[in-house]
Amino acid sequence: MGWPFQALIRARRTRRGLTSGVRDSLRLLRIRARERAAEERWSDSGLLSLTRFVALDLETTGPDMRADRIISIGAVAVTARSVRHDDAFEVVVRQERESAVDNILIHQIGGQEQRGGSDPVGALVAFLQYLDGAVAVAFRAEFDATVLERELLAWLGIRVRVRFLDLAAILPALVPGTGNDSLDDWTRHFGLPPIGRHHAIADAYANAQLLLVAIEHAQRLGFTKGSELLALEKSQRWLGRRR
């Protein structure tokens, strides 16, 4: 099914309202996407050990993935069996009005910091440039994927389906019988060092560490390609076996 007619009109108007610099950046991203298809580390047939994944987390104005806005984005790359501290991304996205007090208490991004954040258009373009088509990794990724896709449409007028790998789906398959349910459960299970939670970059690092563990277990089971992890996640979701 296509978009409703009114949604198409709104998206077109949004794109036309972008500055020439932003439109040029989006054009270059499309060109880069075509070039990237030939690179082994981005290809679905590329080796798991060489694939660049981007572990990410979004902090939002609330828990409603259909309506709440992105307050901050934190992301860090994982490749060659290591968390790449030199390949990370973090931004606070400017809000017209700050989120509710109870929400601020969770993510610790105050009203002044929210109102003084980066322009949403610039922040989202910068994130797409950083992501560079890599597979994004999150815990319960449906939330992040839905919010990100909606915000890209609202601010840039483009529909981008970022490929996500959901740790909540693959970890129970690779390490069965644990009963773990939350991100905190899994980090404790593997004895990972505690990192401040509910900060986007901290949760992104936690996701990156769990991805390294998942890759190690996958390789023990004979997985060699990044596409095999994506296929495992797809099968787990189809079977309804995400915790």
Mean pLDDT by 10 residues, the chain (243 residues): 72 94 95 76 69 94 93 95 95 92 82 92 98 94 96 94 93 93 92 77 94 95 90 82 56
What CATH number has the domain bearing residue 12?
3.30.420.10
Look up the domain containing 44 and give its range.
5-239
CA distance 220 to 215: 9
Q: Are 141 and 164 in contact (CB under 8 A)?
A: yes
Alpha helices in the chain (DSSP H): 5-16, 20-36, 101-107, 111-115, 120-131, 141-156, 167-174, 183-189, 200-220, 226-239
| pLDDT given at position 142 | 94
Half-sphere exposure of 22 (CA within 13 A, CB side): 20
CA distance 83 to 53: 10
Q: How far apart are the first and last CA of the chain?
A: 30
CA distance 203 to 59: 10
Strand-pair partners of 79? 82
| Tokens describing residue 49 | 């050990």
| pLDDT given at position 198 | 66
Domain count, the chain: 1
- Torsion sign, CA atoms 136, 142, 148, 154: positive
CA distance 201 to 127: 13
| pLDDT given at position 240 | 65
* Alpha carbon 233 to chain centroid, angstroms: 15
| pLDDT given at position 34 | 81
CA distance 184 to 207: 10
